[in-house]
Amino acid sequence: MRFQPLTTALAVGVSAHLAQAAGLHDAAVAKGLLYFGTATDNPELTNTSYVTQLNNTGDFGQITPGNSQKWDSTEPSQNEFSFTKGDVIADLADANDQKLRCHNLVWHQQLPNWVSSGSWTNETLTAVLQNHITNVVKHYKGRCYAWDVVNEALADDGSYRDSIWYKTIGEAYIPIAFAAAAAADPDVKLYYNDYSIEWGGSKSTGAQNIVKLIQSYGGKIDGVGLQAHFTVGQTPARKDLASNLKAFTDLGVEVAYTEVDVRMKTPATDANLQQQSTEFANIVGACLDTEGCVGVTIWDWTDKYSWVPSTFPGYGAACPWDENFEKKPAYQGILEVLGGEASASTSVSASASAPETTSAHQHQPQLFFRYHLLHCGRFFYFFQLSQHYFGHLFQHFLRHSFCFFIGYAN
């Protein structure tokens, strides 16, 4: 076999480094997911230590702009668009070959005053809505994996939220928004995104009805984003999370966990950190258990920049890394449920064992020779090492060529 000497040498040369090189995204891809990712925001991009970890594509194969693509940032004055902040994060994703989940086009919050306080009719507000979506989506055309087109259209009881959109246009604003986004970029995935739809109940049913509403208009909806902002001790069981995901995929759409964090009362205790680890593992495990769940995004990766303390006084410690960028037990819990190994760099103790996984995403690879290292999903662990020693171009070459060399097909 022509390439066997090279692959044998690579197997021997990197085997000792795999545990250190493995990351959350690498492990997620090896299990059949498209990505494991994180949100970020422009203010923290001035912190070089933060950016170094954000650029770690072993952990993060996808990023979401937390605020810089929302209406108040992109169209602060009517028909005057600004993409500077959003472009910074899009450029970062491009440079790292990370998927970009674009967020969001229509929401009841973070609207500029000219929208929220305007005197609108159905016709005039519909035109504003369509114009905004068309301009923003066209600007990022070809750069986003998905757009959260409509965000949080439901009240907590599952009825429509009494927003300016619903009060002025009615429920039709939702399919109108999806139609405008589809026209502006026919190739991007279009999502409805909301919180408290992660378990069965009236709000989950309401979100399912939104999918059906868009479909009844003949519109395109590709996915539902379940935000998954949880509190330690109140996260649903893994089987219940998976059952709820399936209720959405049965409608013909994909699903993703889009804003995951698990908050606790502060200061954090060892017991709560261990429970948090189990609950992060259950969330990720539910995605693995569900055919059509494509990925998991945490709502920033470090407690230093979490939104939780300012929104829920007395709570925090919601992310897999602490305020000093040290991995918490949650990191290990996620990695274990994904079938990975602990990084040698972590300074925290091992978490409680994550539930055993039987994944609908797992593949049965066929190789022409017996090197377990060279399972292509697992071989992504080598890419981080290749980037460190040989640079991004060689990493990119390996990513797209190595599976062909060894005769493997996903």
Task: Just list the catalytic residues.
Answer: 152, 259
The Cα angle at residue 318 between residues 313 and 323, in degrees rounded to 5: 90
The strand ranges marked E within 20-84 are: 35-40, 62-65
Residue in 384, 386, 402, 382 with CA at minimum distance from that of residue 394: 386
Residue in 22, 12, 120 with CA at minimum distance from that of residue 383: 22
SS3 category, 148: strand
Considering Cα of 120, then 123, then 125, then 128, what sign does the dihedral take? negative
In terms of DSSP bridges, do strands 62-65 and 99-106 run parallel, antiparallel, or are they unpaired? parallel
Contact (CB, 8 A) for 197 and 226: yes
SS3 category, 77: strand
Residue in 158, 169, 175, 170 with CA at minimum distance from that of residue 221: 175
The strand ranges marked E within 22-82 are: 35-40, 62-65
Contacts of 346 (CB under 8 A, 6+ apart): 326, 327, 331, 332
What are the CB-based long-range contacts (under 8 Å, 24+) for 88-95? 88/42, 88/45, 89/40, 89/42, 89/45, 89/63, 89/65, 90/65, 90/140, 90/143, 92/40, 92/45, 92/54, 92/55, 92/63, 93/62, 93/63, 93/143, 94/143
CA pair distance 335, 298, nearest whole angstrom: 14
Q: Which DSSP category does 302 fall into?
A: B
Contacts of 291 (CB under 8 A, 6+ apart): 249, 360, 361
The Cα angle at residue 194 between residues 189 and 200, in degrees rounded to 5: 110
Beta partners for residue 103, in sequence order: 148
CA pair distance 28, 31, nearest whole angstrom: 5
